Structure 1
């Protein structure tokens, strides 16, 4: 069975080969509770996303906008621990969960837990990788060393302000996919995306040997239609988290319905 970065890359490429749109949805674990999180994950699996970003709640989510910040506050009420998170992922994978799962959280969480310990727990749980938005490549060597040869994806972010040289370095250190942030600022659904996003995407793809996913602001079928010919995958976060905020325990079916709409635009 495929695992880690290889599992993610194959999932993206297989969907593209089939002519499908590789979506990467994001939800915050424990929002509004763990039972609902699991129900949402199984409903999303039926829409065949490329992989899923599962956010571990952190008290200072500097890259996230108001929608995800509020989700984090709701999730933190359950007093989650990283051990709980890995146990949850393991239970899912023991049940045969078919989609690669990526943990999205902040570096302080792993630093305090222990880098090598986090990698070991991740491997034992069947997690496929990590997105750590506040970890720049210049400071990533301890993390990369802890994960060396283990196969887990470390997905770094490139910004609209990143130079060509920096994008090359980010692509070299990333595994699974490179995450291109479509706009400067924080996460959140937008009506319009930047005018130069397609040009920038083409540049990033030309500098990367692994798949390039684009995120931040993607919330409408029009966005998917515009970006899908240029990106290898599309990350959708705040628009989904908003559904969870509004529907609570009734969110699972609504999230699946929303992703179906995005995939068929």
Structure 2
């Protein structure tokens, strides 16, 4: 879990926010997925948030849903996901890698066994979007036993009690979403709730990463100006994968262009 701490410390020294892309493991194919990860890291990604493909991703809009279906159609399995994650960890030993996974997958494999596999694959954090913090005790216990950080979502309408719980239990970062609903770069995105950000910091929360609908440099700059430590960006990247899946070279070129622009937007203006 030191990888996240080292990342945030480094970004603070550089006066930059963190750029954390999200993509689905195995989308659009395993071989192209590796190329996408290489492109994102070369273009400045500070960490990776990777989705375990699932047939019913409740928190995701149509863009990410289709990414899940593409990966599953190519025969991706949870075992294969861990093999891929292990390869990425060996190739990129210093970059934080978090995974987003739905509860059914964790239950199916056995909760402790799942977290043991995360540990052996070099995963730093696990976010389970369909498990609220009030029902997360057994997951957190297994995560802690395997030195895996539990990450939780903070909604824009969080009350004080929830903010306190998030500040205590989400140790590496808090995923602040700018609106309720599902993911998707084509949906209207609000600025992060300044009141929520200030409340989280009042309770000495972990660094705040902002997501759901982030797709432009101006959104990133506004988010950082309100006090977040970085952004998580997925659907706009996955939309490129969808549109150019039949021309991988153009896909990679466009992903690089986008990622470079988004990362550049995280560079804060010196006061």
Poorly superposed stretches of 4+, deviation over 4 Å = none
CA contact (8 A) 2:99 2:127 kept: yes
TM-superposition CA deviations, 1:68-114 (whole Å, max 9, x none): 11111111102222111111111122234542111111011011101
Q: What is the total number of aligned residue pairs between the two structures?
A: 261
CA contact (8 A) 1:48 1:99 kept: no
TM-score by length of 1: 0.92
Give structure 1 stretches of 5+ with no counterpart: none
Distance in 2 of aligned mates of 1:118 and 1:156:
18
CA shift for structure 1 position 192 = 4.9
Residue 253 to residue 98, structure 1, CA distance change in 2 (3 Å): farther
Residue 238 to residue 208, structure 1, CA distance change in 2 (3 Å): farther
CA shift for structure 1 position 246 = 1.2
Q: Does 2:212 match 1:231? A: no
Q: Does 2:254 match 1:254? A: yes
Residue 247 to residue 137, structure 1, CA distance change in 2 (3 Å): same
Secondary structure at 1:170's aligned position in 2? helix
Give structure 2 stretches of 5+ with no counterpart: 266-271
Distance in 1 of aligned mates of 2:186 and 2:203:
27
Q: Does 2:90 match 1:94? A: yes
Secondary structure at 2:98's aligned position in 1? strand
Matches for 1:105-254 after TM superposition, within 5 Å: 105-190=101-186, 192-194=188-190, 197-229=193-225, 230-248=227-245, 249-250=248-249, 251-254=251-254
Residue 70 to residue 162, structure 1, CA distance change in 2 (3 Å): same
Distance in 1 of aligned mates of 2:33 and 2:253:
12
Secondary structure at 1:217's aligned position in 2? coil
TM-superposition CA deviations, 1:156-202 (whole Å, max 9, x none): 01101210111110221112201111101111115753256334333
Task: Give RMSD over aligned pairs.
Answer: 1.7
CA contact (8 A) 1:24 1:51 kept: yes
CA shift for structure 1 position 242 = 0.5
Q: Which moved more, 1:246-255 or 1:25-34?
A: 246-255
Secondary structure at 1:148's aligned position in 2? helix
1:47 is matched with: 43
Q: Does 2:54 match 1:30? A: no
Distance in 2 of aligned mates of 1:207 and 1:193:
26
Distance in 1 of aligned mates of 2:201 and 2:147:
22
CA contact (8 A) 1:9 1:177 kept: no
TM-score by length of 2: 0.90
TM-superposition CA deviations, 1:9-60 (whole Å, max 9, x none): 3212312321222111100111110111111111111233231111111111
2:16 to 15, 20, 23: 20
TM-superposition CA deviations, 1:218-260 (whole Å, max 9, x none): 1111101111122111111111110111122232332121011
Distance in 2 of aligned mates of 1:14 and 1:195:
25
